[in-house]
Chain A
Amino acid sequence: MAPREKAELIFHAAAKILGLDPAALPVVHHLPEEFQVFPVVSFQLEVIRKALVSRRVADWNDRSEEKYGSWFLMNDPGFRFGDSRYGLTYSSGGSRLCTFSVDDQDFFAIECIALWADFCGGQLPAIKKAASTEEIEN
């Protein structure tokens, strides 16, 4: 399944869990084009995150609670998952989207990578076409 289709599937499932209409997205058509992507993708990621953590809220004063975020590589050959790490009391901009286990965060980052690419302003790597039979034989 293509990354965007997969992310869309997950978003629809998460919206269903939260009782939200997946068609109700932020309205951005009146904004300059360069500002239109983030509001929508931010909303979609937050819906998925909220369903994933069962609406749990981070306690930033609890030093024993690990808050996981993901890191991505932005350079060639394109936007790709790097790692999931945790913080305790600290934010670098993505604290609204933290989860509470490395497995949840890896799922969130890897399976929804098309949304994260839009969120970060990166380009997904080009998908190479499968080699044809003729090319394999040669």
Chain B
Amino acid sequence: MQETRFIDQYRLLGIEAPGANMDRYEKADLIFRAACKVQQIDPATLPLIYRLGHSEALVTSFAAQALQSSIIAFYKLQVIHNAIVGAWVAAWNNPRERKWSPFHWMNDPGFRFDGSNYDITGAAGGSRLCFETEEQSDFAGIECIALYADLNGAELAPAQAA
């Protein structure tokens, strides 16, 4: 069961592991709010895409449609990441240190977790979200999968397929 597997991460965030049936977006939101509390960040403060010099948001533009969800998802993942790894910072010059990241499938039946893998000195774009341990990476990749789906512009697989 995932909720008992990640008990250390939930304890770190100061919340109880949610039930297995919780909606994945609700679960990610719960985790984000807990991570905000740990870091004393207002969870209502999110990145915005505005046209500079104007007051209205670009709600119908390419920017808003394509990027708003991705940028907010990354921001939330970064907040969660920082709460999970604490003071750890990747040492890119240390060839003995593994930097873990989750990997996901993009094809049918939808966005789903595959596993966590590590790199040593290289980055493919996700280096801001690499983790100190495989367990932390699995936690993010599984429990926050709704945010990773938004980040990648993908649709979640049905719960039973995931």
Contact = CB atoms under 8 A, between A and B. Distances in A.
B128 interface: yes
Interface majority SS (helix, strand, loop, mixed), chain A: mixed
Given A93-B124, A95-B153, A25 B107 contact: no
Interface stretch (B1-9, B22-30, B48-56): B48-56
Interface string B113-131: 0100100011111111100
A74 B122 CA distance: 6
B133 interface: no
Contacts of B45: 30-31
Contacts of B48: 26-28, 30
B71 A73 contact: no
A24 B50 contact: yes
B85 interface: no
A84 to B, nearest CB: 10
A60 B107 contact: yes
Interface majority SS (helix, strand, loop, mixed), chain B: mixed
A39 B71 contact: yes
- The number of chain B residues touching the other chain, given as a range, is 35 or more
Contacts of A104: none
A76 B92 CA distance: 8
A46 B66 CA distance: 9
Interface in A32-58: 32, 34-35, 38-39, 42-43, 46, 50, 58
Given A28-B47, A76-B93, A96-B70, A89 B123 contact: no
A91 B103 contact: yes
A38 B145 CA distance: 20
B153 A60 contact: no
Contact of A39 (B47, B66, B107, B121): B47
Contacts of B111: 91
Contact of A43 (B52, B71, B108, B148): B71
Interface string B16-45: 000000000000000000000000010001
A42 B123 contact: no
B123 A24 contact: no
- Closest 8 A-B residue pairs measured CB to CB? A94-B125, A93-B126, A74-B92, A60-B106, A89-B107, A75-B121, A39-B47, A120-B127
25 contacts: A18-B62, A23-B52, A23-B53, A24-B49, A24-B52, A27-B50, A27-B52, A35-B47, A35-B75, A60-B106, A71-B124, A74-B122, A90-B106, A91-B104, A92-B124, A92-B126, A93-B125, A93-B151, A95-B106, A95-B153, A96-B153, A119-B125, A120-B123, A120-B127, A121-B128
Given A60-B107, A72-B124, 18 more contacts: A24-B58, A26-B49, A26-B71, A31-B46, A31-B47, A35-B79, A42-B71, A50-B66, A61-B107, A75-B93, A89-B106, A93-B151, A94-B125, A96-B152, A97-B125, A120-B123, A120-B128, A122-B92
